[in-house]
Amino acid sequence: GAVVSQHPSWVICKSGTSVKIECRSLDFQATTMFWYRQFPKQSLMLMATSNEGSKATYEQGVEKDKFLINHASLTLSTLTVTSAHPEDSSFYICSARDRGGRQYEQYFGPGTRLTVT
Amino acid sequence: AQSVTQLDSQVPVFEEAPVELRCNYSSSVSVYLFWYVQYPNQGLQLLLKYLSGSTLVKGINGFEAEFNKSQTSFHLRKPSVHISDTAEYFCAVRVGAAGNKLTFGGGTRVLVKP
């Protein structure tokens, strides 16, 4: 089946530093990837949609200069949290849509837990 | 804009008992409906989906859901739960074929007790 990986699975960083999270589709090509944020015991909130080779589309209220998204290839999208603050601590989940598959289906990665101290 | 409401934030249930998780959505156009399960510290796994056709859909792990257009509901059921069904369950909606985004409900935490 379609597998999406994320790296790292968890990361701790100091306030003011930047951290990069990778999302990879392992056995399919993903023209579209999605980045979600999930606070403890809450639902997933879509942050942005990225399409390979073009700029990401951010949801209202998401700072694009703070959450940099790069979808450089059909199998890799990265989310960089710049100048991280403790309030950025969260669970970040990506999903990907199979270029050759059903358009309605998204495959989710296992998530990355970010803790900013 | 569409919204998804999961009426129960937490559902405790005894092992081998049935469970129903309620989901209502609001949308004036056709939708695709999904149920996902999330185990602790993991991503989401698709349980089942409704695209068209039969309103009763069967998914993995013995789950099923029924789409009710008049009530704009998509409730999830399982006749007999196991301890391993303890998890967070999310209902999600995607608007039509042209829509890109999934909108998630707030989630329902199922706690199966022995």
pLDDT tens digits, one per residue of A4-37: 999 999 999 999 999 999 999 998 888 889 999 9
Q: Which residue has the higher pLDDT, A97 or A112?
A: A112
State the nearest Cα–Cα gap between A105 and chain B, in angstroms: 9
- Alpha-carbon dihedral of residues A58, A63, A65, A67, nearest 10 degrees? -70
Instruction: Round to whole Å and give the CA distance between B23 and A98.
Output: 27
Is the pLDDT at A85 greater than 70, yes or no?
Answer: yes
Instruction: Round to whole Å and give the CA distance between B30 and B10.
Output: 29
Q: Are strands A76-81 and A10-13 parallel, antiparallel or unpaired?
A: unpaired
pLDDT score at B99:
54
Q: Which residue has the higher pLDDT, B57 or A100?
A: B57
Instruction: Round to whole Å and give the CA distance between B65 and B93.
Output: 14
How many Å from the N-terminal Cα to the C-terminal Cα in chain B? 41
Interface of B with A (CB under 8 A): 32, 36, 41-46, 49, 51, 90, 94, 97, 100-107, 109
Average pLDDT of every residue of chain A: 91
Q: Cα-flanking dihedrals φ and ψ of residue B61, to 5°? A: 60, 25
Is the pLDDT at A91 greater than 70, yes or no?
Answer: yes
pLDDT score at A97:
87
Instruction: List Cβ neighbours of B7 (8 Å cut-off, separation of 6 or more).
Output: B22, B23, B24
pLDDT tens sequence for chain B (114 residues): 678 999 999 999 999 999 999 999 987 677 889 999 999 878 899 999 998 889 999 999 999 999 999 999 999 999 999 999 999 999 999 876 545 688 899 999 999 999
CA angle, corner A36, sides to A33 and A41, nearest 5? Answer: 150
Name the DSSP letter for residue A65: T
Q: In the block, which residue shows the tokens 């209502």? A: B24
Instruction: Round to whole Å and give the CA distance between A89 and A12.
Output: 9
pLDDT score at A39:
86
Is the pLDDT at A46 greater than 50, yes or no?
Answer: yes
Q: Which residue has the higher pLDDT, A102 or B68?
A: B68
Instruction: Round to whole Å and give the CA distance between A17 and A11.
Output: 12
Query: For A73-77, A80-84, B74-78, which range has the lowest pLDDT when averaged over its residues?
Result: A73-77
State the nearest Cα–Cα gap between B103 and chain A, in angstroms: 8
Instruction: Round to whole Å and give the CA distance between B105 and B24.
Output: 9
A-interface mutation test, from B41, B93, B100, most A Cβ less than 10 A away: B100
Q: Write the residue in A43, A108, A110 that is nearest to B105 by C-beta.
A: A43
Q: In the block, which residue shows the tokens 């049935």? A: B18
Name the DSSP letter for residue A42: S
Rounded alpha-carbon distances, angstroms, from residue A112 to A31, B8, B32 = 21, 27, 27
Name the DSSP letter for residue A59: P
Instruction: List Cβ neighbours of A33 (8 Å cut-off, separation of 6 or more).
Output: A23, A25, A49, A50, A71, A77, A94, A95, A96, A97
